[in-house]
Amino acid sequence: MASGSTTGRSPRRVLVGISGGIAAYKVCSVISSLAKDGLAVRVVLTQQGQAFIPPLTVATLARHPAYTDENFWQATQGRPLHIELGEWAELLVIAPLSANTLGKLAHGLADNLLTNTVLASTCPVLLAPAMNTDMWQQPAVQRNWQQVQQDARYHAIAPGSGVLACDRIGTGRMAEPEDILPHIYSLLHSGGRRDLSGKRLLISAGSTREFLDPVRFIGNPASGKMGVALALAALHRGAVVTLVHGPMDASLKARLGGIQVDGVTTAEEMHRAMLSHLPQADWVVMAAAVADVKPTTRAASKLAKADLPEALALASVPDIVADLAQRRQPHQRLIGFAAQTGDIVAPAMDKLRRKGLDAIVANPIDVAGSGFGGDRNQAVLLTKAGEQLTIAPCPKLNMAHQVWDALLRAGF
């Protein structure tokens, strides 16, 4: 879900702060991924962070010398280092965030290069804590965690649960790089804006499966990646998100922390789920690739090859988008998706009008590097007011943000 740097302009600038904790090893993957994607990365290690990761390691991964407290009074062009770094950064990521550094941030304290740089900067700050369960659950730590999030600059990725380095099973595991990276790219795109705060979004994703017997079904190659990207981008911008999804890879589902998830299999199940969540939604985005038909019968056990019908009798499944359009309230907005081959605009415009949509996103599935299953996409967004936006090929998370940008500009 990388957004990447853009040819022809300066690379995006990310400052990574590493405080003490064994989870520091995970940050190496984050630094490496950002640098390989063409971003400018600088790293500051606290004294405790150096106990786990040597400066040479992160310097090699970042393609730039790392900074420690020994460099605190190092002048760059006659200016203090923490001032230069604070003004340089577009985004500051602190991972792992220790209990000690969290306490300093919550109370505005600065006694090392990292915390001084935080106070000398105005950019968004992404926090990924990691610590022992008992430490994390201490009332003082929880007070600091809640207090720091009252500052609009700070964006949080709460720790997960699992086996910790101390062999304890509980909450305190730092978020995985696969969770941290999309949040970084979201913040670089939005500049930390929470412009979807107060919005409740209902999004569908993936495919549906209509079974002939327990092992055979009618389906399509939709992976759910576009719907997940829409959900994550909206979450990172402050929305409350519910995602109704069809069968999905476990690694993709694992990235949905903070999102209410409702998994389904068939079109009828998705229909029921979408209608049940509809009353609470402000925006409804139908990004799932739902089957149009299903077998009229479903065998309880696997059919032998000789017993398969020569002609498969089919029945229609519920038209979810049309039903949502009929049942929605005046304040609710309904956005559809249209996966097309050939001319993508005319069929999408027809679907927008027939289904009573407020907007539709048409994307080609016959163009290399876009459509089903991939990490990139492209599209044309159309609104019922006649607005049209072409989204050039880009990572799906970037496309998701462009969709939200366009809808906000359109006054949704």
The CATH number linked to 80 is: 3.40.50.1950
Percent of the chain with pLDDT over 90: 85
- Number of independent structural domains in the chain: 2
Do residues 146 and 285 share a domain?
A: no
Q: Give pLDDT tens digits for 80-99.
A: 999 999 999 999 999 999 99
Q: Is the pLDDT of residue 6 over 70?
A: no
Domain assignment of residue 2, yes or no:
no
Q: Looking at residue 395, what is its pLDDT?
A: 96
Q: Give pLDDT tens digits for 233-252.
A: 999 999 999 999 999 999 99
Domain assignment of residue 5, yes or no:
no
- Mean pLDDT computed over 136-148: 96
Q: Is the pLDDT of residue 166 over 80?
A: no
Q: Is the pLDDT of residue 67 over 90?
A: yes
Do residues 321 and 291 share a domain?
A: yes
Model confidence band, residue 5 (pLDDT cutoffs 50, 70, 90): very low
Closest CA to 46 of 64, 68, 22: 68
Catalytic residues: 166
Do residues 298 and 225 share a domain?
A: yes
Mean pLDDT lowest among 68-82, 115-129, 197-211: 68-82
- Mean pLDDT computed over 158-187: 87
Instruction: State the chain's mean pLDDT as an integer.
Output: 93
Do residues 137 and 273 share a domain?
A: no
Among the candidates 137, 172, 190, a domain finishes at 190
Cβ atoms < 10 Å from Cβ of 2: 20
- Mean pLDDT computed over 387-391: 94
Q: Give pLDDT tens digits for 315-364.
A: 999 999 999 999 999 999 999 999 989 999 999 999 999 999 999 999 99
Q: Looking at residue 2, what is its pLDDT?
A: 54
Residue whose entry in the numeric block shows the structure tokens 């789920």: 273
Model confidence band, residue 163 (pLDDT cutoffs 50, 70, 90): confident
Structural domain containing residue 228: 200-409
Q: Looking at residue 79, what is its pLDDT?
A: 86
Q: Give pLDDT tens digits for 393-402.
A: 999 999 999 9
Q: Looking at residue 7, what is its pLDDT?
A: 42
Q: Give pLDDT tens digits for 188-246.
A: 999 999 999 999 999 999 999 999 999 999 999 999 999 999 999 999 999 999 999 99
Domain assignment of residue 195, yes or no:
no
Model confidence band, residue 294 (pLDDT cutoffs 50, 70, 90): very high
Closest CA to 183 of 145, 231, 148: 231
- Mean pLDDT computed over 162-184: 86
Do residues 229 and 322 share a domain?
A: yes
